[in-house]
Amino acid sequence: MPTLNRPLPTPFLDDGRGSYLSPTGFRGQAGRRYTLNLTYGGQSFRSDAELLPTVPPIDTVYRAYKPQISGLAATNGDFAVYIDLKDPAATVNFYQWDWVHYEKPDFCVLYKLPNTPTAYAKLCCTTDCWNRTRSAGEITIASDQFINGNRLTGQLVARVPFDDSTPYYLRIGQQSLNEGAYQYWQTVQTLTSNVGGVFDATPATLPGNLHNVKPDGPALLGYFQVSARRERVVYINRFAPPKLPFAKNQYPIFSTCEPCTESLYRTAIQPEGWQ
């Protein structure tokens, strides 16, 4: 009997912050199928075999200032960030986008002395320190149902606050989805956008792909998603609107500094493309 040329299972270890990383630096390959096996709460689960589809690059990134309308007056708004890409014609494609923003902090922490109302700013002990903001909780997806093989234009991927006139560092991520993952995120998007009105969509069951290996075992919500990924680093010019941003709060500087502690929201590692 011939043997199947299957790769050995790859373990993923918890980094202590909710992410699971491969100690071997494993990366998936487009066109192959992958399965996740996991143990949770004393139960064993296995995902469906998921195909890893390819993803094209981001062609163009641009922005447009959108003022907020309050009554009859336009107040400070934000910048809508859009992308264009060339959709491949040979396959049905589904897309997902995310972003991360880095900036140098004005201070590392606010500190109050006991029994005093004054807040002091503690500067970072090193200049190599960046605050990090992610698009966590945002669901931005699209399909090529109506544009297959043509250009996808004007896809909104982020909104940049107008709280300063300096350029805004943005790293945009573009991922491929298979149809099952797209339907999963589409359902999540529908469920989270309901506001309790009579015209809301009827609540639906999330179409997950994780199954208990025991037919009578408890179910597990979630989706094992495999994606190809492209990234694009851009700086968004924020000096276009006619009205300048609001002034920042100024704090007196405390005498001692604060270490740049590594976390999900702060890092001492310089981001790619930083200028």
Q: In what order do the strands lie in the sheet with 73-86?
A: 60-70, 73-86, 151-161
Cβ atoms of residues 23 and 10 within 8 Å: no
The whole-model pTM stands at 0.87
Position 198 scores a pLDDT of 46
Position 249 scores a pLDDT of 75
With b meaning 16 or more CB within 10 Å and e meaning fewer, what string describes 124-141?
beeeebbbeeebeeeebb
Position 114 scores a pLDDT of 83
Question: Which residues pair with residue 38 across a beta bridge?
Answer: 45
Position 7 scores a pLDDT of 67
Position 185 scores a pLDDT of 95
* 16 Cβ contact partners less than 8 Å away, ≥ 6 residues apart: none
Position 237 scores a pLDDT of 92
Tell me, rounded to whole angstroms, the distance of Cα 178 from its chain centroid: 18
Position 116 scores a pLDDT of 81
Position 72 scores a pLDDT of 59
Q: How many helices (H) and strands (E) does the chain have?
A: 1, 18
Give me the tens of pLDDT residue by residue for the chain, a chain 275 residues long. 555 566 678 888 888 777 888 888 888 999 999 999 999 889 999 999 999 999 999 999 999 998 877 665 556 789 999 999 999 998 899 999 999 999 999 999 998 888 888 889 999 999 999 999 999 889 999 999 999 999 999 999 999 998 888 899 999 999 999 999 999 999 999 888 765 554 555 566 787 999 999 999 998 889 999 999 999 999 999 887 766 766 777 889 988 999 999 998 999 999 999 99
Question: Amino acid identity, residue 121?
Answer: A
